[in-house]
Structure 1
Amino acid sequence: MSVPDIRTVDLGGRGPVLLLGPSLGTTATALWETTAVGLTIDHRVLAWDLPGHGASPAPSEPFDLGELAAGVLTALDAALAPEGRSGERVLYAGVSVGGAVGLQLLLDAPERVAAAALLCTGARIGEAAGWHDRAALVRASGTAGVVDGSRRRWFAPGFVDRDPARAGLLLDALAATDAVGYAQTCSALAAFDVRDRLAAISPPVLAVAGAADEATPPADLATIADGVRDGRLLVLDDVAHLAPAEAPGRVAAALVPFLRAHHGTTGAPTDRRGVPSSATVEEQRAAGMTVRRAVLGDAHVDRASAAATGFTEGFQDFITQYAWGGIWTRPGLARHARSLITLTALVARGHHEELAMHVRAAIGNGVTVDELEELFLQTAIYCGVPDANTAFRIAQRTLTEMGIDLG
């Protein structure tokens, strides 16, 4: 066997181990970091990088998906060895080729996987000729030659404009990927086809599709959900091929109850709604700061932190822990929904001084301009026309400053 040298990244948390797999051309951190915030309270989260991607060194020889899956298990056990947890059964979630590796693990080592969420993937992905062509292109011109094509395949329409920072982080990771590692992964995908073996998979599977995904359309995920013994399909609107990056709140909200249902009695204690109740103050505050930065942006949070005085720093700590760490990290609502609720509350209470900040946050959380218009029209009826008029004025100014064309 040619087992590639795979390295893992520790994304934090405690409890049952959740192993996250990447998409081709991405790194574990760039793809999963934001979604992982909603997973670490409930799980010990590890992620792995493909050969020549992120933390993993370039491959020395070709490999197939079975050998790649074996390398992932070796890396997992190496990461767990210091804790005496090597060989432990884990939960798994993977995107695209990471999802294909998940299928391979379910077939080759079902005793190691308690349940798997497979996102934007397939039992066969694309056509062999297309993968061979892409491998040849990358060998000739490097991964820079596939950046434009990946930009079109990876993201749903409008995402790059809504969240240029996150899109740029992923595309930069692609450009930095080793050409040999990328090309050999393409060759491995060209030979991958387990459609006729799906019925042998018995652990529970959640198949998550992006409605706008042309690379692995919802039909591919339906084939998995229908083919395995215990499968379920979820389709996310306005999402293409990199669901954890495009819709981290919705992905976390979907994964948490599925994973929690299958990690048995070793999971973190939860309340009657299934919400984790075991996070320490430090964990809650850290998770809150991560979400606060993801929603409001580093620049805003840095300004707020720098402006804090001895008189106000306690309040900054309070909102980070309780508002962002206690509420915004909960899996019951996606960030898209939380943004709409927050904007409504701000209009209703007349808190116009925070409206611009949360309009920006809402756009970053996937709220569209059309949805903002409908929201403020609704508030005109239920909150009052003067408040809605002010909200429209502030939102229009904010969206224009963001460079969004309002027609």
Structure 2
Amino acid sequence: MTIPTITAVQLAGDATRPLLVVGPSLGTSVTTLWGETAALLGDRFHVVGWELPGHGRGLPTTEPFTVAELAAGVLVTVDKILAERGEEGATFAYAGDSVGGATGLHLLLDAPGRVSAAVLCCTGAKIGEAESWHDRAATVRASGTPVMVASSAQRWFGPGFLERSPEEGGALLNALRDTDMESYALVSEALASYDVRDRLAEVTAPVLTIAGVHDVATPPASLRAIADGVANGRFVELDGVGHLAPAEAPRAVASLVAAHVGAAASVTRGTATSGTAAVTGSAYDAGMTVRREVLGAEHVDRAGAKITDVTADFQDFITRYAWGGIWTRPGLDRRSRSVGVLTALVAGRHFEELEFHLRAALRNGLTKEEIVEVLLQTAVYVGVPAANTAFGVANRVLNEA
């Protein structure tokens, strides 16, 4: 067994925060791929990246290895970091893109219980075909990594990314150009033999998979297959994104990572699911926990799937302040809060939001009869036309329940 030496890179945050380990894609450095996303996560996590051999700050190698051995090397490095933090043998959160995601899958499989939650971006339980990986390795050995730059510029990014973000795109392509060619070839050969499709059911930790709509290397179906195959998986698809989601959509990825890892941490700590919502942890973690409990995991997942770099800050604001700051207060139970929300939504004519808050009210313990009474009350104090529309929405929702 060959365990490659893995170099760690401190990206954001400090050791007072929970550890989040992030992994790169073939041909990238972890700093160019994850740097902006890590900066957005640094107020909540100690973000540490690892480098592939011969990539970025990683030491070159001439010894063949498998993806499983790569994962073993990552675990050795992470254990050193945990020891420095005084947390020997502790769990950690993980996020990785492409081969970094494949490495994450092997960590979940080969070191069960060590990864508390994982976010796997633009990857697969099998990536490509063995013959094409061996061909790529031979090409790079013959001509060096610069030969891959032109094709990677076409394959890596969603439409218009290089025009919108020339500096970020250029840094990623320069990292590819500077990668040690033998190390690149050896990672390619490791991917040629990588296939854990028949082992997905062994994964029990919470897994979020993030796909880029325009990713041709690991299309959305590959990420959906992982989410469907593991015991506790969720799938999100990002529009406008290709193969390098952390670089192409850093705010969206950061928001999704924070929500997924925070929700898993809240479940581990133990939270209230009714009454006054006595939730521990940060405002974001508490807010995401309550949001999922009140609105339902599927609704929140759909909202997460629609996050873009334009909407990510607003979603973060809503989670922290509406759900983490108001819904977690002890002064009212959730039934009472639902009564207040339904009344306010009718008064404001926010009937689209009324639909899912009617479902939330049922989830919070209000009966259909009690909801009808609330809407009758709005007819008197808000107005008959608004109540009439609200009853139309309620008729549909309550008859589905």
TM over 0.5: yes
Shift of residue 274, structure 1, vs aligned partner: 5.0
Q: Does 2:311 match 1:337?
A: yes
Partner of 1:6: 6
**TM-superposition CA deviations, 1:300-327 (whole Å, max 9, x none):** xxxxxxxxxxxxxxxxxxxxxxxxxxxx
Q: Does 2:121 match 1:147?
A: no
What is the rounded CA distance, in whole Å, between the counterparts of 1:234 and 1:256 in structure 2?
14
How do 1:7-406 and structure 2 match up within 5 A?
7-13=7-13, 14-263=16-265, 264-265=268-269, 269-270=282-283, 273-274=287-288, 334-337=308-311
**TM-superposition CA deviations, 1:154-194 (whole Å, max 9, x none):** 10111101110000000000000000110000000000000
Residue type at the aligned position of 1:207 = T
Residue type at the aligned position of 1:152 = Q
For the 8 Å contact 2:22–2:96, the answer to whether it is kept is yes
Question: What SS class does the counterpart of residue 100 from structure 1 fall into?
Answer: helix
For the 8 Å contact 1:253–1:334, the answer to whether it is kept is no
Question: What SS class does the counterpart of residue 262 from structure 1 fall into?
Answer: helix
**TM-superposition CA deviations, 1:134-170 (whole Å, max 9, x none):** 0001111110010111111110111101110000000
What is the rounded CA distance, in whole Å, between the counterparts of 1:60 and 1:78 in structure 2?
24
Shift of residue 82, structure 1, vs aligned partner: 2.1
For the 8 Å contact 2:251–2:313, the answer to whether it is kept is no
What is the rounded CA distance, in whole Å, between the counterparts of 1:12 and 1:166 in structure 2?
18
Which is further off, 218-227 or 82-91? 82-91
For the 8 Å contact 1:22–1:96, the answer to whether it is kept is yes
Question: What SS class does the counterpart of residue 125 from structure 1 fall into?
Answer: coil
What is the rounded CA distance, in whole Å, between the counterparts of 1:181 and 1:143 in structure 2?
10
What is the rounded CA distance, in whole Å, between the counterparts of 1:268 and 1:178 in structure 2?
43
What is the rounded CA distance, in whole Å, between the counterparts of 1:274 and 1:39 in structure 2?
15
CA, structure 1 residues 123+237, in 2 after alignment: closer, same or farther (shift >3 Å)? same
Question: What SS class does the counterpart of residue 232 from structure 1 fall into?
Answer: strand
For the 8 Å contact 2:34–2:247, the answer to whether it is kept is yes
CA, structure 1 residues 268+52, in 2 after alignment: closer, same or farther (shift >3 Å)? farther
Which has the higher relative contact order, 1 or 2, with Cα contacts under 8 A spaced 6 or more apart? 1
For the 8 Å contact 1:52–1:177, the answer to whether it is kept is yes
For the 8 Å contact 2:238–2:308, the answer to whether it is kept is no
Residue type at the aligned position of 2:228 = D
What is the rounded CA distance, in whole Å, between the counterparts of 2:11 and 2:49 in structure 1?
7
Sequence identity (%):
51
What is the rounded CA distance, in whole Å, between the counterparts of 2:197 and 2:110 in structure 1?
15
What is the rounded CA distance, in whole Å, between the counterparts of 2:182 and 2:121 in structure 1?
25
Residue type at the aligned position of 1:6 = I
What is the rounded CA distance, in whole Å, between the counterparts of 1:259 and 1:338 in structure 2?
16
Residue type at the aligned position of 2:85 = E
Question: What SS class does the counterpart of residue 116 from structure 1 fall into?
Answer: strand
State the TM-score, normalizing by the size of structure 1.
0.67
Unaligned runs of 5+ in 1: 276-331, 342-407
For the 8 Å contact 2:107–2:115, the answer to whether it is kept is yes
Shift of residue 270, structure 1, vs aligned partner: 1.8
Question: What SS class does the counterpart of residue 113 from structure 2 fall into?
Answer: helix
Shift of residue 334, structure 1, vs aligned partner: 4.6
For the 8 Å contact 1:42–1:268, the answer to whether it is kept is no
CA, structure 1 residues 123+41, in 2 after alignment: closer, same or farther (shift >3 Å)? same
Question: What SS class does the counterpart of residue 273 from structure 1 fall into?
Answer: helix
For the 8 Å contact 1:99–1:119, the answer to whether it is kept is yes
For the 8 Å contact 2:206–2:232, the answer to whether it is kept is yes
Question: What SS class does the counterpart of residue 152 from structure 2 fall into?
Answer: helix
Shift of residue 39, structure 1, vs aligned partner: 1.3
Unaligned runs of 5+ in 2: 271-279, 290-305, 316-401
Residue type at the aligned position of 1:158 = G
Q: Provide the aligned C-alpha RMSD in A.
A: 2.1
What is the rounded CA distance, in whole Å, between the counterparts of 2:262 and 2:186 in structure 1?
35
What is the rounded CA distance, in whole Å, between the counterparts of 1:338 and 1:225 in structure 2?
23
CA, structure 1 residues 140+131, in 2 after alignment: closer, same or farther (shift >3 Å)? same
What is the rounded CA distance, in whole Å, between the counterparts of 1:161 and 1:339 in structure 2?
23
For the 8 Å contact 1:15–1:268, the answer to whether it is kept is no
**TM-superposition CA deviations, 1:180-231 (whole Å, max 9, x none):** 1100000000000000111111111101100000000000001101111111
What is the rounded CA distance, in whole Å, between the counterparts of 2:147 and 2:213 in structure 1?
26
Q: Which has the larger radius of gyration?
A: 2
CA, structure 1 residues 339+47, in 2 after alignment: closer, same or farther (shift >3 Å)? closer
- Number of residue-to-residue matches in the alignment: 285
